[in-house]
Chains A and B, each alone.
Chain A
């Protein structure tokens, strides 16, 4: 069982079924990427977890608490989750600091709203465990998630005189702490309109982190940024989320983002989860050719299964059978799949390996995708590191350094 457990979840908009029997188990403290093409239902899944939309059937539990289920639809404000939307969505009428502090209780009467005992893991009170009413209420709960924040908490515990005063102090301190965490300490008094896209997205993240949510949900948070900024920011955000020991779900349609950021990747298509596994699993052992093509470049060939090997245009290669049933009979036609970087180049030799002619090079600086024409007329592409690039017209021998993947035909 995971920290977040989604069982048999279905959601429809009118007559269209957007999520179809989705189940997902998210381990505590992990960063999970939900990857899929647009319209596959990944944002709907996230909104269902957040409680922002009703579901047809299925259950969602977080930390053992049922938040969505038959007859249960806990209001989003009572779920203790953080939400980072695609476009940052900062409140334009509040300063950066006030945006970050939006979810932090302001005064006593607001307190219950945010801090139903047991609602949020840690929370502001967790920072001052034992010193505030809420802190005491929360102390009973496991606070292992707070281990990572102890360093931040230490300087703050000295101040409070009364619980309320303490809360005020902690609110301001928490805002300052998060502003520093996302590297925008000097911008807390700015208006959101004065921020760049990347800065706005950081504030949005800080705002979501401030109340110490059980679970952070990020809805394509980097999609609106330009590519250079995107890759820089996502590394930073991933480090930050891991540093906070948060459980996070990030929705994205960018496979590079999903593979580079996440501990686990869930690949979605047409309202279903096709594969859930580590990035390496998903990339190197995709469950079907569609997943393989969606998460990366492929080399696709027709072949025949023969005793743990496939015979194809690249010769007889050792292969793994990826079909549901056990390995097929010898001679069965199969669909052979490789990654371009699994191909190796060598000077032509007399051994039985395949000779290929270089026909095109798509240069990308660090490496290149090189197209080769095989004797049979097929074109395959190999990823070649830049220093080893052949020239067009060069005749080379292709080898394969990893087991090929064999899939049943007709998928």
Chain B
């Protein structure tokens, strides 16, 4: 999951005259056209949503916008997103500092453990807490669970930045008479600030677009409102309008995140800071590190297990239904992974090798899914399928397409870095040794970028398995995934009946995760 956290390399930073890994001439037109077509698919939901909402006319739009209800939902959403972002920023930065600057036992394990909450979908964490405290609900509950789930989004990049930050600067500041805290603030914080801000904005985006957690904990945000408006009244204009408000909020956040990435400037120097031995206070540090994983992973999983092992639950397991859900989940995720990688490949190849406004624009459109909340994509594709391709409405095809739009950025990101890591000089050499451009691509570039491509596919698969809101809106009648089964049972407070699905989801999602760590391992050896 950490791929999410690594910002794609800068595209418009000034490069030395002979930048390795890039061509100085323009991209071939066929690749540009292909990549533009692939990127265009990612824009369909947003374009259609905007077209649909503006159809109604501006006055009506403004009128609906100013309704009490819409305002309330918007305020709730912004409130939750901003408080969660703030708390994650503080907790995540402190955890990252402890991880990199305090000598603790089992350092590597602690790092791994603090990343764990990323593996748990937010609604699963909410479900786990509801198992223990069925009456948990409202703002504070949502804030708390969301914070523990999202903290690694800040911890991991800040820890990485701290490890990469030049410690020489801090030493210099100390020798010039600053105390430890002021030296950190003056010398190290500026170096890690971009990572912290980027992480915080990811948290913000996540909490804006999250649906499962707030719905389970009954805190009414925009995502909840969209689903309710869509499901209850068939007032689809209302749903579309709420979706538009949500998209605008998300795009603002993404724009902020992109801006923050521009600020990175690395300072050369030794990156290892002498670690401090904590003495007798180490339990305090360990407790701090373990707070989020405990609350985000251990509590829910133990709750899940306790329910699972109850005799009542075991008796009630509908095995064939469970197997069917597992099959549907795997099948959909696999299809989404394969298609997403194929759609991402031209965009990634273009972005890895060429520069320019057009290339940057195509890549940005491909990354649109990153900013679009799942429920918005789901809703907009419902409209789109009904209006444009009614024969596909209520088929798995539309659902897989939604996954592709939503998770293509992950595929683009890792495929792109896979391709970019292959030096262009290898391509030159293979051409000079007698290979045609396609042979060179196939025998050398694709072969060497394979780990990156596989990682992209697995990331898409993992995300698709856990996706909830778009699946709820788009799944064909009669097909349920593990996520939707879990959701529908929790909605009826059948926590026991939900347990097998939750457990299966955790186990099934582990398969690509294990594969992923395997690929990374071999990739690193090479």
Judged by a CB distance under 8 angstroms, whether B431 is at the interface is yes
Q: Which residues of the other chain, B, contact A47 by a CB distance below 8 angstroms?
A: 428
A211–B431 contact, CB under 8 A? no
User: Does residue B432 face the partner (Cβ distance < 8 Å to A)?
Assistant: yes
Identify the interface centre among A54, A77, A103, A207: most chain B CB within 10 Å of its CB. Answer: A77
Q: In whole angstroms, how far apart are the Cα atoms of A89 and B422 in the complex?
A: 10
The docked-state distance in angstroms from the alpha carbon of A229 to that of B244 is 64
Per the 8 Å Cβ criterion, residues 155-211 of A in contact with B are 193, 204, 207-208, 211
The answer to whether the Cβ of A298 comes within 8 Å of any Cβ in the partner chain is no
A52 (CB) vs chain B CBs: closest residue = B428
6 more A-B contacts (CB under 8 A) besides A75-B431, A85-B425, A89-B428? A50-B428, A76-B432, A77-B433, A82-B432, A86-B425, A103-B433
The 9 closest A-B pairs by CB, nearest first: A103-B433, A83-B432, A76-B431, A89-B425, A114-B434, A85-B425, A77-B434, A89-B429, A77-B431
* Residues of chain A within 8 A of B25, CB atoms compared: 13, 53-54
User: Which residues of A sit under 8 angstroms from B433, Cβ to Cβ?
Assistant: 77, 83, 102-103, 207-208, 211
> In the docked arrangement, what's the CA distance between A114 and B18, Å?
30
Contacts of B233 in A (CB 8 A): none
Contact B434 A52 (CB under 8 A): no
A302 to chain B minimum Cβ distance, whole angstroms, is 36
- In the assembled complex, which residues on chain A have CB atoms less than 8 Å from the CB atom of B24? 13, 53
Known: A39-B17, A53-B25, A54-B25. A93 touches B432 (CB 8 A): no
Q: Which residues of B contact A103 (CB under 8 A)?
A: 432-434
Supply 16 A–B pairs (Cβ within 8 Å), ascending by A: A13-B25, A39-B17, A50-B432, A53-B25, A75-B436, A77-B431, A77-B433, A77-B434, A85-B428, A89-B426, A93-B447, A93-B448, A103-B434, A113-B435, A114-B434, A207-B429
Q: Which residue of A lies closest to B436 (CB)?
A: A77
B430 in contact with A102 (CB, 8 Å): yes
Residues B429 and A77 in contact, CB atoms below 8 Å apart: no
- Closest Cβ of chain B: how far from A123's Cβ, in Å? 10
Inter-subunit contact A77/B18 (CB<8 Å)? no
Q: A13-B24, A85-B425 are in contact. Are A91 and B432 (CB under 8 A)?
A: no
Any B CB within 8 A of the CB of A5: no
Q: A211's contact among B17, B434, B448, by CB below 8 Å, is which?
A: B434
List the B side residues contacting A52 at CB < 8 Å. 428, 431-432
Chain A 124-163 interface mask (CB, 8 Å, partner B; 1/0)? 0000000000000000000000000000000000000000
Task: Assess the A77–B435 pair: CB atoms within 8 A.
Answer: yes
Which residues from B are CB-within-8-Å of A204?
Answer: 429
- The A contact surface, by secondary structure, is mixed
What sequence of 0s and 1s flags, for each residue 430-452 of chain B, a beta carbon within 8 Å of any chain A beta carbon? 11111110000000100110000
A91 to B447, CA, bound (A): 10
B435 to chain A, nearest CB (A): 6
Q: How far is the CB of A308 from chain B (nearest CB, A)?
A: 45
How long is the Cα–Cα vector from A85 to B435 in the complex, in angstroms? 17
Considering the complex, which residues of chain A in the window 2-59 have a beta carbon less than 8 Å from any beta carbon of chain B? 13, 38-39, 43, 47, 50-54
A220 nearest CB across to chain B (Å):
11
Give residues in B with beta carbon < 8 Å to A: 17-18, 24-25, 423, 425-426, 428-436, 444, 447-448, 526
Which of B429, B444, B448 gathers most chain A CB within 10 Å? B429
Q: Across the interface, which residues of B come within 8 angstroms of A243, CB to CB?
A: none
Closest to B426 in A: A89
A208 touches B432 (CB 8 A): yes
Chain B nearest CB, measured from A148 CB (Å):
22
Give the docked Cα–Cα distance between A92 and B429 (Å): 13
- The distance from the CB of A228 to the nearest CB of chain B, in whole angstroms, is 25
Q: Is A263 an interface residue (CB 8 A)?
A: no
CA distance A91 to B435 in the complex (A): 14
Q: Using Cβ atoms and an 8 Å threshold, which residues of chain B touch A297?
A: none
Closest to A193 in B: B526
* Contact, CB under 8 Å: B429 / A83: yes
Whether A81 is near chain B, meaning CB under 8 Å from some CB there, is: yes
For the complex formed, measure the closest distance between the CB of B359 and the CB atoms of chain A, giving whole angstroms.
15
Contact A87 B423 (CB under 8 A): yes
Task: Provide the bound-state CA to CA distance between A79 and B436, in Å.
Answer: 12
B425 touches A77 (CB 8 A): no
**Shortest beta-carbon distance from A346 to chain B in Å:** 49
Write the chain B residue with the least CB distance to A38.
B17
A156 to B432, CA, bound (A): 26
Whole-angstrom CA separation of A93 from B423 in the bound complex? 13
**B residues near A114, Cβ cutoff 8 Å:** 434
Complex Cα distance, B436 from A51, in Å, reads 13
With A76-B431, A208-B432 known to touch, is A89 a contact of B448 (CB < 8 Å)? no
When distances are taken between beta carbons in the complex, the residues of chain A under 8 Å from B423 are 87, 89
B448 touching A92, Cβ below 8 Å: yes
- C-alpha gap A287/B431 in the complex (Å): 38
CA A91 – CA B444 in complex, angstroms? 7
Contacts of A38 in B (CB 8 A): 17
CB distance from A15 to the nearest CB of B (A): 13
Which A residue's beta carbon lies closest to that of B444? A91
Option from B428, B444, B447 in Cβ contact (under 8 Å) with A83: B428
* Interface contact B431-A113, CB-CB below 8 Å: no
Chain A residues closer than 8 Å to B448, beta-carbon distance: 91-93
CA distance A50 to B431 in the complex (A): 10
Contact between chains at A113 and B436 (CB < 8 Å): yes
Distance of B426 from chain A, by nearest CB (Å)? 5
C-alpha spacing A114/B426, complex, angstroms: 18
Among B24, B426, B429, B434, the one with the most A-chain Cβ atoms within 10 Å of its Cβ is B434
- Which residue in chain B gives the minimum CB-CB distance to A102? B433
CB neighbours (8 Å) of A53 from chain B are 24-25
Closest to A213 in B: B432
A170 shortest CB reach to chain B, Å = 16
* Cα distance, A113 to B428, chains bound together (Å): 16
Docked-complex contact A76 and B447, CB < 8 angstroms? no
Contact with B along A59-98 (1 / 0, CB 8 A): 0000000000000000111110111011101011100000
> Could you mark each residue 319-335 of chain A with 1 if its beta carbon is under 8 Å from any beta carbon of chain B, else 0?
00000000000000000
Q: Chain A contacts of B425 at CB under 8 A?
A: 85-87, 89
Report the separation of the CA atoms of residues A47 and B428 in the bound assembly, to the nearest whole angstrom. 9
Give the chain A neighbours of B444 by CB distance below 8 A: 91
Q: How far is the CB of B131 from chain A (nearest CB, A)?
A: 49
Could you tell me the distance between the alpha carbons of A193 and B448 in the complex, rounded to whole angstroms? 14
Q: CA separation between A208 and B431, bound complex, in Å?
A: 11
A75 to B426, CA, bound (A): 16
* B451 smallest CB distance to A (angstroms): 11
Residue among A47, A78, A87, A93 facing the most chain B CB atoms (10 A cut-off): A93
Provide the bound-state CA to CA distance between A39 and B24, in Å: 14
Query: Which of chain B's residues have a CB closer than 8 A to the CB of A102?
Result: 430, 433
Contact A81–B432 (Cβ < 8 Å): yes
Q: Report A-chain residues with C-beta under 8 Å of the C-beta of B431.
A: 51-52, 75-77
Say yes or no: B429 contacts A85, CB within 8 Å.
yes
CA distance A56 to B423 in the complex (A): 26
Minimum distance in angstroms from B22 CB to a CB of chain A? 12
CB distance from B524 to the nearest CB of A (A): 12
Which of A50, A81, A85, A87 has the most B CB atoms < 10 Å from its CB? Answer: A85
Residues of A within 8 A of B426 (CB): 89, 91
Give the CA-CA distance A51 to B433 in the complex, in Å.
12
**B434 — which chain A residues lie within 8 A by C-beta?**
77-78, 103, 113-114, 211
Q: Which residue of B lies closest to A53 (CB)?
A: B25
A114, B436: Cα distance in complex, Å: 10
Query: How far is B429's CA from A208's CA once the two chains are assembled, in angstroms?
Result: 8
Shortest A138–chain B CB gap in Å is 15
Query: Which residues on the A side are within 8 Å of B18 (C-beta)?
Result: 43
Shortest C-beta distance, A358 to chain B (Å), equals 41
